[in-house]
Amino acid sequence: MEGQNISVKCKVRLLRALVLSIFLYVCETWTLTAELQRRIQTLEMRCYRTILGLSYLSHTSNDQVRTTIQQHIGPYDDLLTIVKEKKLRWYGHVTRSDGLAKTVLQGTVERRRRRGGNRKKWSDNIKEWTKKTFAETQALAHDRNRWRDLVHNSSRRRPDDSTQS
């Protein structure tokens, strides 16, 4: 990815086609903890820094890297936004279906509690991003247009952004 004769735009397209398509395989099933979100953002920045030929020693901030990439390819969704959007879309699809995936998604297994704090569950991501209860999201998912709008807005919301609803 460091060839001087290949444009940045072409390198980003190759990254998306050859690397990110494999990375995003089955990302709908991931439970996004804070640590996993940090790792996803780290991978994305590492790839973009390699494409731009930037060393970590150059002390270029992530915002500067994003701005430079945006200047070359135009507006783009970051990797974490893509993962969130794919996960929310899959949730809507499963909620509208009547298959085994829906049964598993809605089911809870009774067991003894583990020691320590509660572990983050897959459904916690959905509640956190949509700011709605599990029952509300299930009802919304049956209206494809409203669900599509919710997916678009929720996947682009930042954790510190409380102005959108």
Q: Cβ(101)–Cβ(41) under 8 Å?
A: no
Number of domains in the chain: 2
The answer to whether residues 35 and 66 belong to one domain is: yes
**pLDDT tens, per residue, the chain with 165 residues:** 556 789 999 999 999 999 999 999 999 989 999 999 999 999 999 999 999 999 888 899 999 999 999 999 999 999 999 999 999 999 898 888 887 777 777 766 566 767 777 778 888 888 888 898 888 888 888 888 988 888 888 887 765 544 443
Q: Cβ(122)–Cβ(31) under 8 Å?
A: yes
The answer to whether residues 55 and 107 belong to one domain is: no
Task: Give buried/exposed letters for 90-104 (b at 16+ CB in 10 A, else e).
Answer: bbbebbeeeeeeeee
The answer to whether residues 33 and 85 belong to one domain is: no
Residues spanned by the domain of 37: 8-76
Domain presence at residue 3: no
CA-closest candidate to residue 159, choices 41, 13, 6: 41
Neighbours of 41 (CB within 10 A): 14
